[in-house]
Chains A and B, each alone.
Chain A
């Protein structure tokens, strides 16, 4: 074969060896001479104003370079504090011990204010306001109503602002329904993304540029925001982020938002520029634990069905705790779980309303799933309830109603498009494949038939997650260089934080050029050497960056074929590139090496390198149905998850958890990476079975579990994840792939709750699923209070 192929193969990850052997240099591994250290003084109160602050004794301590407060650095610190652990001051000193000693020399006079620590309390009329003069409970600003549905294309033509997201006639829908199933206050506790590396950065001003060493999920986005906050040009910053020690979406800083925990960047940046000395600022594990909580939602779901189980109407209400400010965007993604996408096949009437609510419980960001798991927890437990009440097999009820390829995505991201076609689904096939793997038909039994002390339960939930957004803001760029020795470099800033995008993008280049994967190198470590790449979020790398990489490789190839054609006396279109050089398609034996295709190089020769380039201002033309710009094909992550578990009815302890994750990935560009991604579905178990929650002392606002002993991340110990990978070609991608990342987090809590119900007949709709709740549900104990 003249061409090499690596798509669909388990090639060794580009970053794999370095990560496994410890050779990988994470930001904290960069040794910078004279690096100053920072420690942060944090608020003891959940709500307070700083009346006075005296830093003179700290400043006088030998070894202290700078003491920062809201008085001298209002860009980084505030005089009002919104949670226990909020930033009061920072000390930059010659070492950590000196900085810590100086913190104790700072005297602060606080005025304590009233505070609120739960979603429920924050919504009360007389609740203390987290931000003075602003109600805690916010209506979503971007609710949009869709109308003018084209009977032929089924696309909506009109979008108008409204009191909720949706379409159709909700009242009429329920009037005409034969069955209505309703569940309320389905609560997903706050939880933390399981990244091992805590937030931090080192900065060094080298006389020309501010060199920023840090972890990153999107270097260019971060650089842009940091430059704005520091008041310097983007040309004056080089963002260096060779490796990221886990992100799970939760480490995405938004430097301009004062309520998202990016303060380490601002503090180090300001200190470094003012002192003209290198500065390190990082969070300890405890500090890490008070920033960036996510989930924290309460959902009501009401679904109308026809007699035969056809889902026609859905009413969905979503309340999201956004803590003290933070990230308000996750709830929009919960729409994916509703009749807008997941159940778009038969749903004619949808009302979906979002509110987001501030509390004094730390700060919030989104992470893996970004709002979607919350939606699925609500919808998929209600669907399960419906299956039992309608007497329809839970698998069959979903097969009847789930989205198919070509169904309509009714604008879950209302800012970018009105409605679009779902490019691929395969959920029905995933339900079949997963059922077979877990022997659903043989093993599934109604809970009424189970009587032993330890009872097995089998639950299912389907899911969909975005795999990329459309619109020019969701662009990505790539450069592919071909050198005359036949080696190739992909220049691409897309972050690899363990999810494997560096590897997959190199596979795309290798496949497009027909060369061995090993010959493709990567330039990806800083912003100065790379063009813009999309943030690695929303599981969009394979699609948005994938198109850019593919087209840049094609561009480079086209240029090389022109060079080779001259040398071979052929037309470029007769030629192709492959393992050993450029060859004639009709007669692969007629071949010249890459070196010969370039010819002589240097002062008297031809070009030294070929540069292919592409900017994917998506959607790519191949993502348009029939080339019609109104008919966009948008890919999704999608599939079905099955959970088997045992419940001990005497202790409420759950064991023998096995997750079977069936997902249609379109094409598994790298099956091992796909398996790894699917196995992240175990992270839902943190919140399901390990009793995790954002537990605060109600009188004082202290975080009770600020470490990884008391806040438990789930590991391979908790469960096995069995993967079933389906590959149904997706027309919206050059190699038929869609995405594989955040989807794994979406169905787990619903499937888990459904499995518990199947085991013991107790419907748990509030995470975590503790022994206490299970024993209470079984009537083994009577709690003295309903609330924890």
Chain B
């Protein structure tokens, strides 16, 4: 790993001022489970001069219910989210998503704020400099995406954004989208549907370089509301997902009155399936209806040579998640 300056931030304001001082040559670190891998592999074109540690900021780790909103501090660990009785009760999809992320050790390190700001896992993007030098793909400012004509078995089945076909790796992101969460930062409050931006390629957000996530707000839905999260991965939770699906749903006398469906691992950003949502409104959930919703959610898929199977996986997962509610 190359040398850099490490700054323990004393407050969010201090952290922001450090980011402003080092401009484009700085990154924040919380759990570090993603950032350290990037640094060790020296995969960016420019090595950061400074790393700003957020863990030293007090008061950013909490889970509390206030009024009709669940407040979760950005530094709350995934273990805390997964094990919280409040989260399990009010936002089961989020608790399950946190529980299905990585391994116990990584869940103890990783934070919810960090989990939604992860870099993507594209093999080309992540290629380590040690083996003949890094790969300067389009996501890093290069000219082309190597995955489109190369290895893309785990890549997007809904096309590219700015030529990049990597997918967002976060497990908690689709849960937060299904639950219609809001993200509070040092600058503003952002609706979760607006938070992820593929403008710079997969795994990116609309955050400015000097902006830090402070809190995640999840609205507490009506009593009849239910939510669920499912993940398909090779080694259960340990691996990054092939496909995940989170669904939040409200019913009135068996009829679906509100529903939000989000898939991840299928596109640059976590992707809502609004057509499937519309189809489900007013319907009574049956096996056939669930299957049809899955078909509709994937009807516009544009799979590549190696990832046709992911369409089948995603369809099935939408239906399975619906039927688990």
Number of interface residues of A (CB under 8 A): 49
How would residues 680 to 691 of chain A score, 1 for a CB under 8 Å from any chain B CB and 0 otherwise?
000000000111
One of A161-169, A298-306, A778-786 contacting the partner: A778-786
Among the listed A652, A689, A697, which residue makes an inter-chain contact with B309, where contact means beta carbons less than 8 Å apart? A652
One of B70-78, B159-167, B232-240 contacting the partner: B232-240
Known: A704-B123, A718-B235. Contact between A781 and B308, CB under 8 A? yes
Contacts of A651 in B (CB 8 A): 232, 312-313, 316-317
* Contact sample, A vs B, 11 pairs, CB 8 Å cutoff: A42-B132, A84-B132, A651-B232, A651-B317, A695-B123, A697-B151, A709-B121, A709-B239, A717-B236, A772-B306, A788-B153
Interface residue tally on B, bucketed by range: 35 or more
Secondary structure at the B interface, as helix, strand, loop or mixed, is loop
Q: Indicate if the CB atoms of B150 and A772 lie closer than 8 Å.
A: no
From 104 to 154 in chain B, residues with beta carbon under 8 angstroms from any chain A beta carbon are 121, 123-124, 126-128, 130-133, 135, 146, 149-151, 153
Q: Indicate if the CB atoms of A771 and B316 lie closer than 8 Å.
A: no
Q: Indicate if the CB atoms of A712 and B232 lie closer than 8 Å.
A: no
Among the listed B126, B235, B238, B308, which residue makes an inter-chain contact with A784, where contact means beta carbons less than 8 Å apart? B308
Minimum C-beta distance from B314 to chain A (A): 10
Q: Indicate if the CB atoms of A788 and B150 lie closer than 8 Å.
A: no
Q: Indicate if the CB atoms of B235 and A85 lie closer than 8 Å.
A: no
One of A1-9, A283-291, A671-679 contacting the partner: A283-291
Contacts of B242 in A (CB 8 A): 771
Contacts of A714 in B (CB 8 A): 235
Cα A97 to Cα B124 in complex, Å, equals 25
Q: Indicate if the CB atoms of A286 and B313 lie closer than 8 Å.
A: no
Q: Indicate if the CB atoms of A287 and B309 lie closer than 8 Å.
A: no
Cα A509 to Cα B234 in complex, Å, equals 46
From 629 to 666 in chain A, residues with beta carbon under 8 angstroms from any chain B beta carbon are 650-653
Cα A689 to Cα B236 in complex, Å, equals 12
Q: Which residue of A lies closest to B317 (CB)?
A: A651
Q: Is A754 an interface residue (CB 8 A)?
A: no
Q: Is B249 an interface residue (CB 8 A)?
A: no
Minimum C-beta distance from B252 to chain A (A): 30
Instruction: List 15 additional A-B contacts (Cβ < 8 Å) besides A710-B121, A710-B123, A712-B234.
Output: A42-B131, A42-B132, A44-B132, A286-B128, A287-B130, A650-B312, A652-B313, A653-B232, A702-B131, A706-B127, A707-B128, A709-B240, A770-B309, A772-B309, A781-B309
Contacts of A712 in B (CB 8 A): 234-235, 239
Q: Is B3 an interface residue (CB 8 A)?
A: yes
Q: Indicate if the CB atoms of A42 and B130 lie closer than 8 Å.
A: yes
Contacts of B279 in A (CB 8 A): none
Chain A residues with CB under 8 Å of chain B are 42-45, 84-85, 97, 100, 284, 286-287, 290, 650-653, 689-691, 695, 697-700, 702-707, 709-710, 712, 714-715, 717-718, 770-772, 775-776, 780-785, 788
Cα A771 to Cα B232 in complex, Å, equals 11
Minimum C-beta distance from B305 to chain A (A): 5
Contacts of B1 in A (CB 8 A): 97
Q: Indicate if the CB atoms of B308 and A772 lie closer than 8 Å.
A: yes
Contacts of B3 in A (CB 8 A): 97
Q: Indicate if the CB atoms of A44 and B234 lie closer than 8 Å.
A: no
Q: Indicate if the CB atoms of B150 and A650 lie closer than 8 Å.
A: no
Contacts of B98 in A (CB 8 A): none
Q: Indicate if the CB atoms of A97 and B312 lie closer than 8 Å.
A: no
Q: Is B65 an interface residue (CB 8 A)?
A: no
Q: Indicate if the CB atoms of B150 and A697 lie closer than 8 Å.
A: yes
Q: Is B198 an interface residue (CB 8 A)?
A: no
Q: Is B2 an interface residue (CB 8 A)?
A: yes
Cα A652 to Cα B121 in complex, Å, equals 23
3 nearest interchain CB pairs? A44-B132, A772-B309, A704-B123
Contacts of B295 in A (CB 8 A): none
Minimum C-beta distance from A703 to chain B (A): 7
Contacts of A780 in B (CB 8 A): 312
Among the listed B128, B150, B234, B305, which residue makes an inter-chain contact with A699, where contact means beta carbons less than 8 Å apart? B150
Q: Indicate if the CB atoms of B312 and A781 lie closer than 8 Å.
A: yes
Q: Indicate if the CB atoms of A286 and B309 lie closer than 8 Å.
A: no
Minimum C-beta distance from A699 to chain B (A): 6
Cα A284 to Cα B128 in complex, Å, equals 11
Known: A97-B3, A718-B235. Contact between A785 and B131, CB under 8 A? no
Q: Which residue of B lies closest to A690 (CB)?
A: B234
Among the listed B132, B153, B239, which residue makes an inter-chain contact with A702, where contact means beta carbons less than 8 Å apart? B132
Q: Indicate if the CB atoms of A702 and B135 lie closer than 8 Å.
A: yes
Contacts of B130 in A (CB 8 A): 42, 284, 286-287
How would residues 296 to 325 of chain B score, 1 for a CB under 8 Å from any chain A CB and 0 otherwise?
000000000110110111001100000000
Contacts of A771 in B (CB 8 A): 242, 309, 313
Q: Indicate if the CB atoms of B234 and A691 lie closer than 8 Å.
A: yes
Known: A775-B312, A780-B312. Contact between A85 and B132, CB under 8 A? yes
